[in-house]
Chain A
Amino acid sequence: MSITLSINANQIDAPEGSSVLDVVNISGTYISQLCKDPDMKAIGACRTCLVQIEGVRGYPASCSTPASDGMKIWTDTPELDSIRRGVVELTLSMVGENVQDGPSDFQELSVAANHYNIDKSRWEPRERETVDDSNPVFNIAMDSCILCGRCAQACQDGHQFIGAIDFLGAGQSSRIGTFMDKPLLESVCTTCGSCLASCPTGAIDVKFAPAQEIKTVTTTCPYCGVGCGIKAKVDAKDQIIEIEDDPDNLSSVGMLCVKGRFGFSFVNHEDRIKSPLIRKDGELTPVSWEEAMEYVADNLIKYRGDAFGTLASAKATNEDGYIQQKFARLIMQSNHIDHCTRLCHSPSVEAMLTALGSGATSNSYVDYEEAGCLVVVGSDATSNHPVAASRMRRAVVERGAKLIVINPRRIDMCDYADIWLRPRPGTDVALLNAMAKVILDEGLADTSFVDDRTEGFDEWREVVEKYTLEYAEGITGVRANDIANAARMYAQPPFSGSCLIWGMGVTQHTMGTANAHGLLNLAFVSGQLGKPGSGISPLRGQNNVQGCGDAGCVPNSFPGYQVLSDDTISKFENAWSNQPLPREHGLVITDMVTAMDDGRIKSMYVVGENPLLSEPDLTHAEAAFKKLDFLVVQDIFLHETAQIADVVLPATTFAEKDGTFTNSERRVQRVRKVIEPVGDSRPDWGIIGELGRRISDKLGLELKHEFDYSHPSEIFDELSGLTPIMGGITYDRLEQEGGIQWPCPTSDHPGTRYLYESDFPRGPKAKFVAFDQGPAADEVPTERFPLILNTGRILYHWHGGTITRRASNLMARSPELELAINAEDAQKYGIDDGDWVRVRSRRGDMEARALFSDKQAPGELFVPFAKLQEHAANYLTNPALDPTSRIPEYKVCAVRVDKLVNGEVVSDGRRRRVRV
């Protein structure tokens, strides 16, 4: 429905629900609008968007006046002009004498002042407060603040739901500040930069003014799996100078986090590998591409078949992944291809494949906002998926959704939670089974869903039957009443449906697959699946971990999860020049490491991964990688794995190539080339294609044309042609419609917001799979190693930190590895807040700065697994595997902690004896 209004006597059509300001903007008439952010609700504070409306008394602010059909609006009558000039002049007096100062103009305020020909305010400037420069990335300078409130709105309800800054004081002393008026750095600020993006005067601004931009490219953020839209600004030197949010992006709706907005300087970092390197006389030596390609091709030929394994990158594009699996299967005749999902969500994927037949998030982010109850299990979404977390907070704050947090740590989301369950690490199966039993016993189950759409219910019910609340309380340590209340809330939310959201806290256990099944069973029994506002969401950690699996970089299936069967193998053989393809399932990454160790795999081609930081028990992984005859690493930095490689090939980052990423909500989004490749680097698809052509030639396979592409869009067309779930997606559609969520089988299909509305990929029925609680963890605390170490991520570092270590803004915010320790434990081991400590497990040790935190229970420690200052948590972690999915138990290992003085251990963790 649209309405028609007149603006200064011109007829304008506008959608219903617009404000008068929206209509004025549609008409193209300039009107100052200092406090109105295009993505947010009207505040109505600046009073500069005044208009006159026929039949309405006075001069209403157009931003907060709803438009209606037939309205007659004037924006520039003499009275209006005089009032508005007065308002703008008064506003200008707030930024005072500084108008002429320095390079920073007052942005939107200056534009308004210029428009109305005001160069200086007649009034005395306001008294000025000091600048808060505590945040290493940006300053808040009250001396150019006009108190419009946009930053406070961006930080709080309505946008990011963080709440670091707000209006303080009254009258003359009104200002923007933090809780208790402390420096910004001591507040809950996450440096997401939303305030900075919304500030109309530059009062909140980056520390160093960026150079003049010459172009802006819309692309997709390279960090986590949320898949936010970003706009990258580039200067004349072809360097990215600034990243802005993209309000049109359907996944991030104008939000970004600190990594997305400020973590871009790695792209032009001096450490980028700029030319191919070959190990000569023990040293990695720069060579030409020609020499490198010949050398790699000549060597890889020797290991075709089972002796070859490859790791694909969940940071690279779908097109890169597709080419890589094609290269491995067609040219190298090996199904030993895997990617990092093995180390994060493989239990979720395995469980979902068994129970549903597809390993993807069933719902969209918009379902979080519509849900009546959100259950966040083992996921610190605020740190790892900040924008998704904002959308969850929006559900809680704006719509009154219930929030249940299940986590042994007191994560930030607990602030918003109705119920927080704190199970002992590794006891989730008992907890989830007990919740299911409450749902069954109290008649809260969705019996029609269970009867019509599931199987295996009776067998499962028998197993669950013994998990009474008392029994579960004994195992998990969670109060029986809380378990029961959580179960009731989940099964019967106050409105709409319930979403189950989980992360690594569920999966990185020896019981990982059992945990994931426990969650799925809970969704089945209460029917919280296949309708709006409900669903199951494993939150993905990497930008394209979904897409990497979709593109076929897994050892047991072709693109689109078409499992290796005679039919699919012949389908792909036909598509790929009738060359026979390997028929056996390949090895997963954790098993590949074992296979390297015992000599079955002799050559590895590692693309965009750093297994020597991400594998558990690094000392053992290093030994295995060193046994390889031939190791090729293709990456952007010379990381730990690259340092022991025989050949290193320089790849490009997301900013230097075209392609697509697929995010957590199955949305395929365009990645666009922002700058030219740095140095001699090349996109992954180009390098792998070149290798494919060379090896094909050397072997006389006549497969050269199979790797001949001029643009990634040709690769995507081939991928979508062979992959029914993406059959209807093309670059042209992505260009016009933005991201499209698969399944999208045909070109007129709009994409799918949520899955499983009527059936499941495995057939008409989903499957209950029962599990009993096993041992909580492979390793339990002992006298020698009395504490449990939990690993995870923090907001400012991304995974192993190979990228974020080279992003100066992020390093400034978090330069050191911090070990979170409960004050009670710290006292026991004689550690003070801020002491350097050494943490030891049976496998290795690391050093970190102790930081008192009550987020974890006594007896538990937490450390991010990023590598900072040569210390990394994965020297400690346990490679014990979940038997089904082969995921290592990153979340639990037994450790001890000792205080360090000048690098020496001074106290003994066991006996509290001080040696000095």
Chain B
Amino acid sequence: MPPISDQDRERVHKAINNQKRPTVTVLSSLLAVQDELRYIPDEAIEQVATLMDTTINDVFGVASFYPNFRFTPPGNHTVELCWGPTCHLEGSSYIIEKVLDELGLEGQGETEDNEISFKFNTCLGACSRAPLMSIDHHMIGNLTPESAVERIRSLRHQD
């Protein structure tokens, strides 16, 4: 992976050193980095290890434990599609099929142009509006396969 820019390095430094919370931990620092850059580069792990006075292995051990941390830059937009029980009953499997086709993916991951990161989610916490997905943390409910594909297409056209 290419080294991060000086600017990003500075952002990481600020993010982990200005945590507004009573206890700063490895986990809180990793969250701060992920919030800032949307992923955790190697160097951020080194910085967290230095801050917390521990080894990079211990930090990476924690980071790799949580599937929501990512270590490569995400796409410009994040699409999370719920496949929890309610959404499943409301037909999310048909939506998944169409969306994956649209994105040209087999499963979770980034599109070839790195425009969109696609993830499954077990519950977005809004079952009353099932089936639903979130685009860049905005909930879109009562989906049909067609409306979901439409939304994703419009993302690409925005840029």
Q: A residues bordering B, Cβ < 8 Å?
A: 156, 163, 165-170, 177, 179-181
Contact = CB atoms under 8 A, between A and B. Distances in A.
B71 A180 contact: yes
A22 B135 CA distance: 58
Interface in B61-97: 61, 64-67, 71
**What are the 3 closest A-B residue pairs judged by CB atoms, nearest first?**
A168-B64, A166-B57, A170-B65
B66 A179 contact: no
Contact of B64 (A156, A163, A165, A181): A181
B55 A169 contact: no
Given A179-B56, A180-B71, A167 B42 contact: no
Contacts of B42: 179-180
A179 B66 CA distance: 15
A166 B61 contact: yes
A179 B57 contact: yes
A180 B60 CA distance: 7
22 contacts: A156-B55, A156-B57, A163-B55, A163-B57, A166-B57, A168-B60, A168-B61, A168-B64, A168-B65, A169-B64, A169-B65, A170-B66, A170-B67, A177-B64, A179-B45, A179-B56, A179-B57, A179-B60, A180-B1, A180-B42, A180-B71, A181-B71
A180 B46 CA distance: 11
A435 B56 CA distance: 33
A17 B45 CA distance: 39
A398 to B, nearest CB: 13
A556 B74 CA distance: 70
B73 to A, nearest CB: 14
B111 to A, nearest CB: 22
Residue among B55, B64, B65, B66 with most chain A CB within 10 A = B64
Contacts of A177: 64
B61 to A, nearest CB: 5
A437 to B, nearest CB: 32
Give the interface residue-count category, chain B. Answer: 10 to 19
A156 B61 CA distance: 13
Nearest to A157: B55
Nearest to A168: B64
Interface string B32-70: 000000000010010000000001111011001111000
B16 to A, nearest CB: 18
Chain B's interface: helix, strand, loop or mixed, by majority? helix
Contacts of B66: 170
Contacts of A156: 55, 57
B55 to A, nearest CB: 6
A49 B1 CA distance: 43
A523 B118 CA distance: 63
A166 B66 CA distance: 15
Nearest to A174: B65
Contacts of B58: 166
Contacts of A166: 57-58, 60-61
Residue with the highest number of chain B CB atoms closer than 10 Å, among A156, A163, A165, A166: A166
Contacts of A180: 1, 42, 45, 60, 71
A179 B62 CA distance: 11
A167 B61 contact: yes
A413 to B, nearest CB: 15
Contacts of A181: 64, 71
Given A163-B56, A177-B64, 8 more contacts: A166-B57, A166-B58, A166-B60, A168-B60, A179-B42, A180-B1, A180-B42, A180-B71
Contacts of B56: 163, 179
A170 to B, nearest CB: 4
Nearest to B57: A166
A792 to B, nearest CB: 26
B150 to A, nearest CB: 34
A170 B67 CA distance: 8
A170 B56 CA distance: 17
Nearest to A181: B64
A181 B63 CA distance: 11
Nearest to A397: B55
Interface string B99-132: 0000000000000000000000000000000000
Contacts of A165: 57
A179 B58 CA distance: 9
A166 B54 CA distance: 14
Contacts of A170: 64-67
Nearest to A163: B57
A156 B67 CA distance: 24
Nearest to A162: B57
Contacts of A167: 61
A156 B55 CA distance: 10
A179 B1 CA distance: 13
A635 B94 CA distance: 76
Most buried by B among A156, A167, A169, A179: A179
B102 to A, nearest CB: 28
A523 B58 CA distance: 37
A166 B57 CA distance: 7
Nearest to B72: A180
A913 B58 CA distance: 48
A156 B66 CA distance: 22
A149 to B, nearest CB: 11
A298 B45 CA distance: 70
A219 B57 CA distance: 35
A177 B61 CA distance: 9
A188 to B, nearest CB: 9
B132 to A, nearest CB: 26
B66 to A, nearest CB: 7
Nearest to A177: B64
A396 B55 CA distance: 13
| Residue among B58, B60, B71 having the largest count of chain A Cβ atoms under 10 Å | B60
A168 B64 CA distance: 6
A449 to B, nearest CB: 34
Contacts of B71: 180-181
Contacts of A168: 60-61, 64-65
A311 B104 CA distance: 72
Contacts of B67: 170
B82 to A, nearest CB: 21
Nearest to B66: A170
- Residue among B45, B57, B61, B66 with the most chain A CB within 10 A? B57
A181 B72 CA distance: 12
Contacts of B55: 156, 163
Nearest to A167: B61
A181 to B, nearest CB: 7
A153 to B, nearest CB: 12
A822 to B, nearest CB: 16
Contacts of A179: 42, 45, 56-57, 60
A229 to B, nearest CB: 28
A243 to B, nearest CB: 27
B33 to A, nearest CB: 14
Contacts of B61: 166-168
Nearest to A165: B57
A156 B57 CA distance: 9
A656 B1 CA distance: 49
A166 B55 CA distance: 11
Of residues A163, A167, A180, A181, which shows the largest number of chain B Cβ atoms within 10 Å of its Cβ?
Answer: A180
Contacts of A169: 64-65
A599 to B, nearest CB: 59
Nearest to A170: B65
Nearest to B64: A168
B11 to A, nearest CB: 19
A180 B71 CA distance: 8
Nearest to B40: A180
Nearest to B1: A180
B72 to A, nearest CB: 10
A474 B123 CA distance: 64
Residue among B45, B55, B67 facing the most chain A CB atoms (10 A cut-off): B55
A179 B49 CA distance: 12
Nearest to B60: A179
